Amino acid sequence: MPAIQVLSAAAAALLAASLAPRDADHTLRLLLAMIACTGALALSRWVPLCMQQLRRSRLRRRAGCVPVRAAPGGSLDVLLVRSRKHPAHFIFPAGGVERGEGMADAAARETHEEAGVAGSLGRYLGELVDDKSRTAMFALHVEREDAAFQEVWRERKWYHLGVPGTAAFVQLSSKARAVLSPKQTHQAAFEMLIAHAADIVGEHEKLEQAARSSGGACARKRR
């Protein structure tokens, strides 16, 4: 084997050995194997990608929700909670993912802990990434508001956004956004809400139809 390929393979092996098992996921191991097999040229191409993947894997994993409720006529409301660190601002509920917990389960749990609401988890809205964490965000169609919850000291407040696609929706969204934390991740989550608003309303209508159908079927069985 040419010396340059030996050096390439050695560099890949050292990089692999330096990774903790929890960081060396399947994708990263595959990239390292490619480096070891394809020589110095591949090393120069793949190492930056490997390091990017490594940095991403070391970010804290978080999950949260954009709690919403829809009303007849297609209007939409969004629930925000007051920030603990910056009480002048409101935020979307989110927090760390516990060991062995799925993203969706973590999002629902954190939302109930911080906002005291529960319901049907809707669409995956996207991932918010900053220099410390990556947060998976979901829509949550609120079906229950509890008076007692873990962080009951937080103020929670509904904001009416109106019907997506209308001028009123733009104006009302701006008012809600004005109280939101200026932090990039929260602003990005609000952008996700705006982008998916019409689909979220449609999703809510389907959930209601399914609930009515299920209720009708149960009533027929009781007869």
Q: Annotated catalytic sites, by residue?
A: 113
Which residue, chain included where needed, has tokens 């595959």? 30
Return the DSSP state at 180.
B
Tokens coding 100: 């062995």
Q: What are phi and psi of 122, to 5 degrees?
A: -100, -145
Return the DSSP state at 132.
S
> Where do runs of H (alpha helix) occur along the chain?
3-18, 26-57, 103-115, 167-178, 184-222
Q: What are phi and psi of 88, to 5 degrees?
A: -75, -15
